[in-house]
Amino acid sequence: MKVFHTVRGLRDDLNKDRRQGLRIGFVPTMGNLHDGHLALIKQARESNDVVVCSIFVNALQFGLNEDWDKYPRTYQGDCDKLREAGCDYLFHPDDIEMYPNGLDTQSRVICPTMTDVLCGASRPGHFEGVTTVVSKLFNIVQPDEAIFGIKDYQQLAVIRRMAEDLCMPIQISSAPIHREVDGLAMSSRNSYITVEERPLVTVLKDSLEWIAAEIKAGNRDFSALEETAKARIIEAGFKIDYITVCNSKTLDLAANDDVEITILGAMFTEAARLIDNLSITL
């Protein structure tokens, strides 16, 4: 695996591959890689000749009082995992390489839809940071395909919209949620969960599955279903961010005649914010 810390170094090597007609797949990450990330690398490997992964903990998408400074950084272990997974290139820039003129004067990419609800409502400015850094990474790597996990469903929807709006010639692909043995969605932030909380955190997944079963059984009182699920999570000892039944494409609140529905949820443990989602077709 070739490792690059500069835009120029990565581009020079990728241009050689591009001139040979090789198809380039890209998996952007913030590091602290787990099996979910490695599944993205494997998927990219199956449909591309060259696989690029980036590791960059993007300060622009972290709000005040969020965990940028303590976000797990496990670079050497990540490199070992990527080599084993068959990654060809790792791009690992520092803040100056990504934002040479500083964060305050960085040009921004703003998606005006789907970014002020759900995670966007509780994390103002988060998706502006995501779309800005992802667009920069797309410009640097210039991949044929980029793969994102469905766990971050809203992020995936926003990036797809950004790529469509900006006419980016990139196939945006998704990968299923990778889960722990007990069903908890894998996340770099799972390491924040305390031993006492760990057996209880699957209440988020269980609550989403309960809502899905109710909807499939004919219950269209989405608001009541959301409130009942929230009560279950609070009873388990956690703080609710949101539980929302949405139209899968627009992320608007689901209508009674919607066919494609996604149920999204977020909750807080003592030190972690966990998200999950479940999509159904009626």
**Per-position DSSP letters for 267-282, written without gaps between them:** EE-SS-EEEEEEEEE-
Is the residue at 153 inside a domain? yes
Rounded to the nearest integer, the mean pLDDT of the chain is 96
Query: Percent of the chain having pLDDT more than 90?
Result: 94
126-141 and 7-19 are packed helices; what angle lies between their axes, rounded to 10 degrees?
Answer: 50
In this predicted structure, the answer to whether residue 71 has a pLDDT above a threshold of 90 is no
Kindly report the CATH number assigned to the domain that includes residue 209: 3.30.1300.10
Among the listed residues 37, 92, 126, 178, the single catalytic one is 37
- If one counts the domains in the chain, the total is 2
Known active-site residue 37: yes
Name the domain boundary from 175, 204, 225. Answer: 175
Name the domain boundary from 140, 175, 210. Answer: 175
Entry pTM: 0.94
Is the residue at 181 inside a domain? no
Q: What is the mean pLDDT of residues 139-156?
A: 97
In this predicted structure, the answer to whether residue 252 has a pLDDT above a threshold of 70 is yes
Is the residue at 282 inside a domain? no
Q: How far is CA 52 from the centre of its chain?
A: 17
Q: What are the C-alpha distances in Å from 45 to residues 24, 49, 80, 85, 242?
A: 9, 7, 17, 9, 35
Predicted confidence band of residue 70 (pLDDT cuts 50, 70, 90): confident
CB 57 within 8 A of CB 31: yes
Residue 220: domain span: 188-277
Name the domain boundary from 154, 175, 196. Answer: 175
Choice among 41-55, 112-126, 216-230 with the minimum mean pLDDT? 112-126
199 and 157 assigned to the same domain: no
Q: What are the C-alpha distances in Å from 145 to residues 32, 128, 149?
A: 22, 22, 13
Residue-wise pLDDT tens digits, 160-176: 999 999 999 999 999 99
pLDDT at 77: 97
How far is residue 143's CA from residue 220's CA, in Å, rounded to a whole number? 42
pLDDT at 64: 67
97 and 228 assigned to the same domain: no
153 and 210 assigned to the same domain: no
Predicted confidence band of residue 129 (pLDDT cuts 50, 70, 90): very high
Q: What is the mean pLDDT of residues 70-86?
A: 94
161 and 196 assigned to the same domain: no
- The residue type found at 32 is N
113 and 238 assigned to the same domain: no
169 and 40 assigned to the same domain: yes
19 and 87 assigned to the same domain: yes
Residue-wise pLDDT tens digits, 86-114: 999 999 999 999 999 999 999 999 999 99
163 and 258 assigned to the same domain: no
107 and 28 assigned to the same domain: yes
